[in-house]
Amino acid sequence: MQSRGFFGNTLSKNHIIPSISRKTTCLDNAVLESFFRTLKVCTVHQEQYQTFAELKSAVIVFMDYYNNKRIKEKLNCICPVGFQNDAI
Protein backbone atom coordinates (compact mmCIF):
# COMPACT_ATOMS: atom_id res chain seq x y z
CA MET A 1 0.00 0.00 0.00
CA GLN A 2 1.35 3.40 -0.99
CA SER A 3 1.74 6.02 1.72
CA ARG A 4 -0.27 9.19 1.08
CA GLY A 5 1.71 11.46 3.36
CA PHE A 6 0.39 14.13 5.70
CA PHE A 7 -1.67 16.09 3.15
CA GLY A 8 -3.13 12.99 1.51
CA ASN A 9 -4.17 11.61 4.89
CA THR A 10 -5.67 14.95 5.94
CA LEU A 11 -7.69 15.14 2.74
CA SER A 12 -8.85 11.56 3.17
CA LYS A 13 -9.92 12.09 6.81
CA ASN A 14 -12.02 15.08 5.73
CA HIS A 15 -13.57 13.21 2.78
CA ILE A 16 -11.91 15.52 0.23
CA ILE A 17 -10.92 14.15 -3.15
CA PRO A 18 -8.01 16.08 -4.70
CA SER A 19 -8.31 17.21 -8.30
CA ILE A 20 -5.28 15.72 -9.96
CA SER A 21 -5.24 14.99 -13.66
CA ARG A 22 -2.63 12.85 -15.37
CA LYS A 23 -1.89 15.55 -17.88
CA THR A 24 -0.83 18.90 -16.49
CA THR A 25 -3.10 21.62 -17.79
CA CYS A 26 -3.47 25.16 -16.56
CA LEU A 27 -7.26 24.89 -16.68
CA ASP A 28 -7.46 22.26 -13.92
CA ASN A 29 -7.63 24.81 -11.13
CA ALA A 30 -8.42 28.00 -13.05
CA VAL A 31 -11.73 28.63 -11.28
CA LEU A 32 -10.24 28.30 -7.80
CA GLU A 33 -7.12 30.25 -8.72
CA SER A 34 -9.34 33.08 -9.93
CA PHE A 35 -11.47 32.97 -6.77
CA PHE A 36 -8.46 33.00 -4.42
CA ARG A 37 -6.97 35.94 -6.33
CA THR A 38 -10.24 37.84 -5.87
CA LEU A 39 -10.33 36.91 -2.18
CA LYS A 40 -6.76 38.14 -1.65
CA VAL A 41 -7.29 41.37 -3.57
CA CYS A 42 -10.50 42.18 -1.69
CA THR A 43 -9.29 41.26 1.80
CA VAL A 44 -5.59 40.60 2.33
CA HIS A 45 -4.22 43.30 0.02
CA GLN A 46 -6.55 45.97 1.41
CA GLU A 47 -5.52 45.84 5.05
CA GLN A 48 -2.97 44.59 7.56
CA TYR A 49 -4.50 42.30 10.13
CA GLN A 50 -3.15 42.18 13.67
CA THR A 51 -4.57 38.77 14.51
CA PHE A 52 -5.74 35.64 12.76
CA ALA A 53 -9.23 36.30 14.16
CA GLU A 54 -9.37 39.63 12.29
CA LEU A 55 -8.35 37.96 9.03
CA LYS A 56 -10.84 35.14 9.59
CA SER A 57 -13.62 37.65 10.21
CA ALA A 58 -12.74 39.57 7.02
CA VAL A 59 -12.79 36.34 4.99
CA ILE A 60 -16.19 35.37 6.45
CA VAL A 61 -17.63 38.81 5.59
CA PHE A 62 -16.20 38.54 2.06
CA MET A 63 -17.62 35.02 1.59
CA ASP A 64 -21.06 36.22 2.65
CA TYR A 65 -20.86 39.06 0.12
CA TYR A 66 -19.43 36.81 -2.62
CA ASN A 67 -22.14 34.18 -2.30
CA ASN A 68 -25.21 36.08 -1.11
CA LYS A 69 -25.00 39.71 -2.24
CA ARG A 70 -22.76 39.90 -5.32
CA ILE A 71 -24.79 40.37 -8.49
CA LYS A 72 -23.55 38.21 -11.34
CA GLU A 73 -24.60 39.15 -14.88
CA LYS A 74 -24.01 35.60 -16.16
CA LEU A 75 -26.53 34.36 -13.57
CA ASN A 76 -29.38 36.57 -14.81
CA CYS A 77 -28.29 39.43 -12.52
CA ILE A 78 -28.84 37.59 -9.26
CA CYS A 79 -26.43 36.36 -6.60
CA PRO A 80 -24.96 32.82 -6.82
CA VAL A 81 -27.00 31.47 -3.88
CA GLY A 82 -30.20 32.97 -5.30
CA PHE A 83 -29.48 31.43 -8.69
CA GLN A 84 -28.86 28.04 -7.09
CA ASN A 85 -32.06 28.27 -5.04
CA ASP A 86 -34.06 29.21 -8.15
CA ALA A 87 -32.67 26.16 -9.98
CA ILE A 88 -33.92 23.76 -7.31
Q: Are 80 and 63 in contact (CB under 8 A)?
A: no
24 three-state secondary structure? coil
Domain enclosing residue 68, as ranges: 5-87
Report whether pLDDT(57) > 60: yes
Dihedral sign computed on CA atoms, order 8, 13, 15, 16: negative
Report whether pLDDT(64) > 90: yes
Q: For the full predicted model, state whether its pTM sits above 0.75.
A: no
Rg (CA), the chain: 17
Mean pLDDT of 40-61: 92
DSSP code for 84:
H
Task: Report which of 9, 34, 30 is spatially closest to residue 19, judged by C-alpha positions.
Answer: 30
Domains of the chain: total = 1
Q: Band of the pLDDT at 1, cuts 50, 70, 90?
A: very low
Please give the residue that has the higher pLDDT: either 18 or 53.
53
